[in-house]
């Protein structure tokens, strides 16, 4: 808490009419693994922030929107405390960038989110739901035309023109693509470890790294003594316990391991695949290298080999690069614009 965002979209919030309180806007960056919310007046700095679990209906589990409601309750509680109020200030506009809310499920997700927030007294007509790609792109502050390269729990490349996505690569979900995402990296890591201990693939340091995370000796089965007598079954059993059914986002727990063992040939191959894929996506969507690039998502925006190598590759092609920590500033921009407009267009 305590991060300030610049005001955007002129005007003033004014009074709600019920108790003379200044109406607030609510912005959210809703990923598959983590949700971040911010509460602010139309003009002025953020007064409260809160974090909670992810809320991607496809990969965060069946209770995703219930957890989102609880995070909204928390940020409003913090807002009351910051303002010294006993009751919640009215919410004049809400803008949420939601992972998985692309065109395939946009209407369904907007309806579900609006219904859940209505339980908190928030008018559905004042709720804007877009995907987290748009808010991440806007967070870059590079204008209305740009290339977004995002790799977090999911992964996608998008070309924006006049704020609208006009071309994209990947973003097809963990079953069909999302190459370079945290889920993809976690899955590839575990596949390499399984191949190692099964004798189907080369020996890799990733095996020891995964074993440390799972508190297992995946080489000799000595620490603790192998519970099954078979290292392969030990791995299967441990993953059954640590990866909730129906929540593939949990695979992201293993995503940082290749970057920590970049000298290992198996890990190196995984990292190289991601870097080449990201750079190839940029070339496919913007072959003239004329657009600024926004890097976003926990994989590409975090310090480490992947971020460094992707940035170096983009700059070698004379591309300008901006890295953003998340889409919350972009969502705040949309919330303030909606507040001045009044209602979501049908």
Q: Which residue has the higher pLDDT, 345 or 265?
A: 265
pLDDT score recorded for residue 346: 52
Q: Which residue has the higher pLDDT, 37 or 87?
A: 37
Strands 48-53 and 34-41: antiparallel
- Name which of 83, 73, 80 is nearest 122 in CA terms: 73
Q: Assess whether pLDDT exceeds 60 at residue 17.
A: no
Q: pLDDT-derived band of residue 7, with 50, 70 and 90 as boundaries?
A: very low
User: What residue ranges of the chain are covered by domains with CATH 3.30.420.40?
Assistant: 24-138+327-341, 144-323
Q: pLDDT-derived band of residue 15, with 50, 70 and 90 as boundaries?
A: very low
pLDDT in tens, 169-184: 998 888 899 999 999 9
pLDDT in tens, 88-139: 888 999 999 988 777 777 788 888 889 999 998 999 999 999 988 999 999 9
Q: Assess whether pLDDT exceeds 90 at residue 321.
A: yes
Contact indicator for 301, 308 with CB cutoff of 8 Å: no
What does the pLDDT average to over 85-90?
84
CATH topology (fold) of 144-323: Nucleotidyltransferase; domain 5 (3.30.420)
Q: Which residue has the higher pLDDT, 234 or 9?
A: 234
Q: Assess whether pLDDT exceeds 50 at residue 20.
A: no
Considering the chain, what is the average pLDDT of its residues?
87
Number of Cβ within a 10 Å radius of residue 315: 12
Kind and range of the H or E run holding 296? strand 293-296
pLDDT in tens, 43-76: 889 999 999 987 766 555 556 788 889 999 999 9
The Cα–Cα gap between 292 and 287 comes to: 12
Bridge partners of 170?
156
pLDDT in tens, 266-317: 999 999 999 999 999 999 999 999 999 999 999 999 999 999 999 999 999 9
Q: pLDDT-derived band of residue 224, with 50, 70 and 90 as boundaries?
A: confident
Q: Assess whether pLDDT exceeds 70 at residue 234.
A: yes
The Cα–Cα gap between 254 and 105 comes to: 28
What does the pLDDT average to over 28-37?
87
Among the ranges given (154-158, 208-212, 241-245), the one the predictor scored with the smallest mean pLDDT: 241-245
pLDDT score recorded for residue 171: 87
CB proximity list for 198: less than 8 A, separation 6 or greater: 232
Q: Assess whether pLDDT exceeds 50 at residue 13.
A: no
pLDDT score recorded for residue 206: 97
Q: Assess whether pLDDT exceeds 80 at residue 33.
A: no
pLDDT score recorded for residue 59: 54
Q: Assess whether pLDDT exceeds 70 at residue 4.
A: no
Contact indicator for 122, 94 with CB cutoff of 8 Å: yes
The second-level CATH assignment, the architecture, of 24-138+327-341 is: 2-Layer Sandwich (3.30)
pLDDT in tens, 195-217: 999 999 999 999 999 999 999 99
pLDDT score recorded for residue 14: 41
Q: pLDDT-derived band of residue 1, with 50, 70 and 90 as boundaries?
A: very low
The Cα–Cα gap between 236 and 259 comes to: 24
Highest mean pLDDT among 238-252, 279-293, 332-346 belongs to 279-293
What does the pLDDT average to over 330-345?
87
For residue 31, report the phi and psi dihedrals to the nearest 5 degrees: -90, 180
């Amino acid at each position: 808490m305590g991060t300030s965002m610049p005001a955007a979209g002129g005007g003033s919030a004014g009074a709600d009419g019920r108790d003379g309180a200044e109406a607030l806007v609510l912005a959210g960056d809703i990923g598959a693994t983590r949700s971040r919310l911010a509460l602010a007046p139309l003009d002025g700095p953020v007064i409260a922030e809160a974090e909670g679990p992810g809320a991607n209906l496809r990969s965060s589990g069946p209770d995703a929107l219930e957890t989102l409601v609880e995070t909204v309750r928390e940020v409003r509680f913090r807002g009351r405390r910051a303002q010294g109020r006993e009751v919640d200030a009215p919410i004049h506009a809400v803008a949420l960038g939601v992972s998985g809310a692309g065109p395939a499920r946009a209407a369904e997700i907007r309806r579900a989110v609006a219904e859940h927030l209505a339980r908190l007294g928030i008018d559905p007509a004042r709720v804007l739901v877009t995907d987290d790609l748009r808010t991440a792109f806007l967070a870059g502050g590079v204008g209305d035309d740009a290339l977004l390269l995002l790799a977090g729990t999911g992964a996608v490349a998008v070309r924006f023109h006049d704020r609208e996505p006009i071309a994209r690569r990947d973003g097809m979900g963990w079953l069909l693509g999302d190459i370079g995402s945290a889920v993809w990296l976690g899955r590839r890591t575990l596949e390499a470890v399984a191949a190692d201990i099964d004798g189907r693939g080369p020996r890799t340091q990733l095996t020891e790294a995964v074993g440390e995370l799972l508190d297992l000796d995946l080489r000799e089965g000595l620490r603790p003594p192998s519970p099954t007598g078979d290292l392969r079954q030990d791995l299967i059993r441990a993953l059954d316990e640590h990866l909730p059914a129906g929540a593939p986002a949990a695979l992201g727990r293993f995503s940082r391991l290749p970057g920590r063992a970049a000298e290992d040939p198996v890990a190196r191959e995984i990292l190289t695949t991601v870097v080449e894929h990201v750079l190839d996506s940029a070339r496919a969507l913007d072959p003239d290298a004329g657009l600024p690039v926004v890097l976003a998502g926990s994989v590409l925006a975090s310090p480490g080999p992947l971020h460094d190598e992707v940035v170096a590759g983009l700059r070698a092609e004379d591309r300008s690069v901006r890295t953003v920590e998340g889409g919350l500033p972009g969502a705040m921009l949309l919330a303030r614009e909606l507040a001045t407009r009044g209602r979501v267009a049908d």
